[in-house]
Amino acid sequence: MVRTYDAGNYDCIVVGAGHAGCEAALASARMGVKTLVLSINLDSIAMMPCNPSIGGTGKGHLVKEIDALGGEMGLNIDRSFLQSKMLNSSKGPAVHSLRAQADKNKYHTEMKRVMENTEHLHVKQAEVSQIVIEDGKLKGVITQTGSYYKSNVIVLATGTYLGSTIFIGDALIQSGPNGLAASYDLVKDLKKHDIELRRFKTGTPARIDGRTLNYDEMEIQWGDKAYELFSFMNDHVELDEMPCWLTYTNQETHDVILNNLDRSGLFTGTIEGTGPRYCPSIETKLLRFTDKPRHQLFIEPEGRDTNEMYVQGMSTSMSEDVQLAFMRTIPGLRNCEIMRPAYAIEYDCINPLDLSLSLEFKEIEGLFSAGQFNGTSGYEEAAAQGLIAGINAALKVKGQSPFILDRSEAYIGVLIDDLVTKGTDEPYRMMTSRSEYRLLLRQDNADLRLTQKGYDIGLVKDSRYSKFTRKLQMIEEELMRVSKVTLKATDLNPIFEAMGIPVVTQGFKIIDLLKRPEIFYKHLESIDVNRPSDLTIDVIKQVEVSLKYEGYIKKQLQQVEKFKSLEEKKLPEGIDYSSIDGLRLEARQKLDAIKPTSIGQASRISGVSPADISVLLVYIEQFRRRGN
């Protein structure tokens, strides 16, 4: 038995320093709360154990929202990216999603530097083995070496380190991601506190030596020339861009894999955890899409100071010799050497239905949870939860009400509501299709939606807020200007003729021109002589989108009003659902387990029908009339 000693008191303790832990710790400290963050290994702060990128479809929205609220992920990727692309740019603005390739080591070192130099934040290397709860109240944590750090508010952000096992063919390795130490004592301790744990799985492709590749056999992939940045604080960052490369599997590749399925932990039964549906292994792809003659692979650099290349699209748990055999059938990779083999990893995570919308455990006051430990996949989903958990931990310390974003306000609100209301039976991944209000929740307007909220809770600082208010003012002034300025027909017609648009006999206000789907600011640049010289690209984008999609936006705002009316119908705490006549048995069980805070949240619970909602509406009206 290790002897414990008093290692100090903190207002908030964050367990884990991955993407969730970093955002949680920074948010708490920046809100003026004395915060301790504990990591098994300080070299794993903000580590990217899987793909070397930030953003992507749906995920880019989360990063923009994290940044708008005063988080760090957007700023950090802008300091460390290798190239950047706007995905879905040929589609509408609701699904535009920014993705940037990262220098993995620089991303880690930059985040570590920020953490170490943030006021009120204390960074220490230690493995937490126990959560101390006495008389139902949170008291602190104990580490493997016996350090007893006291606090009444704790954020668990353990990622994929709890009880984790690595699978490479027949090999089962007790390890965390990337060969780092895992945590096993904390698993036993959490079970002692009756915290339900489940087994999930994820995986990562091999890293291969870039010196052993034939780039002439692959297609070069550059980023956008006019690249966008993630942080609303950045207008420009100098970039020495690095390319990625595109290649494809072939029938020979498929034959090697399919003939060796008995060398995959996924198909031999040794892996029991549930994996992410939207990021399947190459074995699963071949069995699921039997009609596809080839699958694309992106060869992505891991950083400027390494030869390691990431094989995007080839996650696997097959044995190392089979991995080498099938990769050497692929153009560009025929002489490749593996530097780190691909692997699958199983780990313990919680049932997110045990959490409230603030990400606090319903049954353990002061204990918050964030990241992959909540059943999600991806750095961005983790960071978004970490930010909210850190904010609410700080607010808990200050005795203030929790900060909740609903589904109509942010993708972060969709993510958390999905987790704590619907739950998940597989690693949850954010996608734009999960949001019913995605035209309102665009990544380009994240600051307009959220920066005021971040300022109100004390996370957004004055420098960001002043830039934000100036942008608001510029948008308002520009909308006023374009509603008044008329462009002459004689000036417009040469432009219209060049665009193949019928000429006109009278002038048009700029606002009416911009409402037309084919006309943008760039087309009017030569004749709109009074345009303000300091008009920025992001202001132009907001004006164009607001005018071109005005009708659709108004329709979604009406839908949001209906949504809000149900969210505002609060359910009293401590309802005995078993005593409410008219509720079906399944509804009673689900409502009692999830404890929704509003009629709106109750309506999204699987197993609660519209008829059950009608019963609840009658109940709360009767409750109100009784004066309770």
Q: What is the pLDDT of residue 628?
A: 59
Domain boundary among 341, 371, 387: 341
Whether 620 is covered by a domain: the verdict is yes
Length of the chain, in residues: 628
Whether 139 is covered by a domain: the verdict is yes
Same domain, 108 and 232: no
CA pair distance 247, 298, nearest whole angstrom: 6
pLDDT higher than 90, residue 268:
no
Query: Which DSSP letter does residue 536 get?
Result: -
Q: What percent of the chain has pLDDT over 70?
A: 99
Instruction: Tell me the two tokens of residue 278.
Output: 């939207």
Whether 421 is covered by a domain: the verdict is no
CB-CB contact of 317 with 271 (8 Å): yes
Cα dihedral 401/65/378/273 (nearest 10): 40
Residues 6+ apart with CB under 8 A from 485: 509, 510, 528, 530
Q: What is the CATH number of the domain that holds 320?
A: 2.40.30.260
The sign of the torsion formed by the CA atoms of 440, 455, 70, 359 equals: negative
Q: What is the CATH number of the domain that holds 153?
A: 3.50.50.60
pLDDT category of residue 152 using cuts at 50, 70 and 90 = very high
- CA neighbor of 155 nearest in space, from 128, 136, 185: 128
Number of domains making up the chain: 3
Domain boundary among 315, 341, 367: 341
Burial of 196 (0-12, 13-18, 19+ CB in 10 A): exposed
Instruction: Tell me the two tokens of residue 618.
Output: 């009658």
pLDDT higher than 90, residue 275:
no
Q: What percent of the chain has pLDDT over 90?
A: 91
Burial of 234 (0-12, 13-18, 19+ CB in 10 A): middle
SS (H, E, C) 599-613: HHHHHCCCCCCHHHH
> Once rounded to an integer, what is the mean pLDDT over residues 289-314?
96
Same domain, 252 and 276: yes
Whether 418 is covered by a domain: the verdict is no
SS (H, E, C) 333-402: CCCCCEEECCEEEEEEEECHHHECCCCEECCCCCEEECHHHHCECCHHHHHHHHHHHHHHHHHHHCCCCC
Phi–psi pair at 320, nearest 5 degrees = -65, -35
DSSP string, 304-322: TT--EEEEET----B-HHH
Residues 6+ apart with CB under 8 A from 36: 8, 10, 12, 13, 14, 122, 124, 149, 151
- Which amino acid does the sequence have at 137? K
Query: Which DSSP letter does residue 418 get?
Result: I
Phi–psi pair at 499, nearest 5 degrees = -95, -5
**Residue 216: Cβ within 10 Å count:** 8
pLDDT higher than 90, residue 251:
yes
Domain boundary among 408, 426, 452: 408
CB-CB contact of 265 with 16 (8 Å): no
pLDDT category of residue 8 using cuts at 50, 70 and 90 = very high
Same domain, 146 and 180: yes
- Which amino acid does the sequence have at 12? C
The sign of the torsion formed by the CA atoms of 197, 198, 199, 203 equals: negative
β-strand 53-55 against 97-102: which pairing, if any? Answer: antiparallel
Same domain, 118 and 23: yes
Q: Tens of pLDDT along 336-360?
A: 999 999 999 999 999 999 999 999 9
Q: Tens of pLDDT along 468-522?
A: 999 999 999 999 999 999 999 999 999 999 999 999 999 999 999 999 999 999 9
Whether 332 is covered by a domain: the verdict is yes
β-partners of residue 124 are 38
> Once rounded to an integer, what is the mean pLDDT over residues 246-271?
90
Q: Tens of pLDDT along 195-206?
A: 999 999 999 999
Q: Tens of pLDDT along 361-407?
A: 999 999 999 999 999 999 999 999 999 999 999 999 999 999 999 99
β-strand 137-143 against 147-150: which pairing, if any? Answer: antiparallel
CA pair distance 10, 8, nearest whole angstrom: 7
Of 180-184, 237-241, 307-311, where does the model show the most confidence?
Answer: 307-311
Domain residues for the domain of 607 are 569-625
**Rounded mean pLDDT of the chain?**
95
Same domain, 156 and 48: yes
> Once rounded to an integer, what is the mean pLDDT over residues 127-132?
97
Same domain, 332 and 368: no
At which residue do the structure tokens 């059950």 appear? 612
Same domain, 172 and 252: no
Same domain, 28 and 114: yes
Same domain, 139 and 28: yes
Same domain, 140 and 246: no
Q: What is the CATH number of the domain that holds 587?
A: 1.10.150.570
β-partners of residue 5 are 147
CA angle 456, 460, 465 (to 5 degrees): 90
**Residue 517: Cβ within 10 Å count:** 8
> Once rounded to an integer, what is the mean pLDDT over residues 538-565?
95
Q: What is the pLDDT of residue 398?
A: 98
Whether 327 is covered by a domain: the verdict is yes
Whether 524 is covered by a domain: the verdict is no
pLDDT higher than 70, residue 1:
no
Cα dihedral 362/191/148/10 (nearest 10): -20
Whether 267 is covered by a domain: the verdict is yes
Query: Which DSSP letter does residue 11 get?
Result: S
CA pair distance 79, 103, nearest whole angstrom: 9
pLDDT higher than 90, residue 136:
no
Burial of 186 (0-12, 13-18, 19+ CB in 10 A): buried
Phi–psi pair at 150, nearest 5 degrees = -95, 135
Same domain, 280 and 240: yes
- CA neighbor of 345 nearest in space, from 281, 254, 423, 260: 281
Q: What is the pLDDT of residue 274?
A: 78
Same domain, 22 and 129: yes
CA pair distance 605, 423, nearest whole angstrom: 9
> Once rounded to an integer, what is the mean pLDDT over residues 205-227?
97
- CA neighbor of 59 nearest in space, from 9, 6, 10, 97: 97
**Sheet with 128-134, edge to edge strand ranges:** 5-9, 147-150, 137-143, 128-134
β-strand 12-15 against 154-156: which pairing, if any? Answer: parallel
